[in-house]
Amino acid sequence: MALAVGDRICQAMADCELGTLAYRQGDFEQARRFYEAYLDQARAEGNRRWTASALTNLASIAQTTGDFAVSRIQHTESLGLWRELGDRIGEARTLHNLANLAFSEGELEQARLHFEQSLAIKRRLADHYGISNSLAGLGEVAKDQGDYAAAAAYLRESLTLALGQKARTPLVDTLHILIELGRALGELELATRLHGALAQAREELNYPIPPIHRVEYAQIQSGLKEALGQERYETVRAEGRALSLEEVTACLEAMLTQKAL
């Protein structure tokens, strides 16, 4: 027996929400099944907005699980749909996702281009949350390209916006990249303070480490402990946990001044 229109809509929305829940819990196979059901319903209904949304979600799973080729196909189709719909927010977010994909593949120039395209749209829309996110991405690209001055400038602006918006994801992402920048500059104690500040921010924002990032987080922690020694690491990390986010910004400014970036 075919579902009524209202029931089909409810089923599609449920599949989307359940897929998101499974994704956040790290159950990617379950998430994929829900999102595929969402996509099937979207295509059956001829709903391009749902289709673009489902493709974006499936592309994120493909990227997370290392299937970059599939992720690129899905993101590209999604981008075309957002542009057909005239949805600039969807377009900007998908460009950001394509930038992250290029970064994962080591294509830093392509990543930079997509981040800049996404950022330009977000600035026109005054999407401060999104602006902060794209600036963090540009900061990470610049860091990996060895342009620490540009990385610091992007991350400074990103952190300021994230603080103003109390935006969890950009704030946490920016702090994470700042830790990497500190390590790259040889500022291991600063990196450790930022590591402590990041842990404190996660607690205050009720934003625990996603399962997909726990291995990377543990590797950073282990590297800092090895560099400083267990006792010094614990002391400096505790200092970082006691810092306000405004004081974290001041630490960043001090590092930039010292390094004359």
Domain boundary assignment for the chain: 9-125, 127-261
Between CA 244 and CA 246 the distance in angstroms is 5
The model's pLDDT over 121-161, given as tens digits with 9 standing for 90+, comes to 999 999 999 999 999 999 999 999 999 989 988 988 998 88
Between CA 196 and CA 170 the distance in angstroms is 17
- The CATH number that domain 9-125 falls under is 1.25.40.10
Strand, helix or coil at 65? coil
Token digits of residue 229: 């020694």
Look at residue 2 in the predicted model and tell me its pLDDT. Answer: 45
Between CA 48 and CA 123 the distance in angstroms is 26
Is 90 exceeded by the pLDDT of residue 241? yes
Look at residue 258 in the predicted model and tell me its pLDDT. Answer: 66
List, in order, residues 6 or more apart from 81 with CB less than 8 Å away. Answer: 48, 49, 51, 52, 55, 90
Q: Assign domain 127-261 to its CATH superfamily.
A: Tetratricopeptide repeat domain (1.25.40.10)
Asked, colleague to colleague, whether 9-125 and 127-261 share their fold, the answer is yes
Q: What is the maximum span of the chain, computed from C-alpha positions, in angstroms?
A: 71
Q: How many CB atoms lie within 10 A of CB 224?
A: 22
The model's pLDDT over 75-118, given as tens digits with 9 standing for 90+, comes to 999 999 999 999 999 999 999 999 999 999 999 999 999 999 99
* Residue 94 · residue 72 · CB < 8 Å: no
pTM of the model: 0.83
In angstroms, what CA-CA distances link 219 with 216, 229, 231? 5, 15, 18
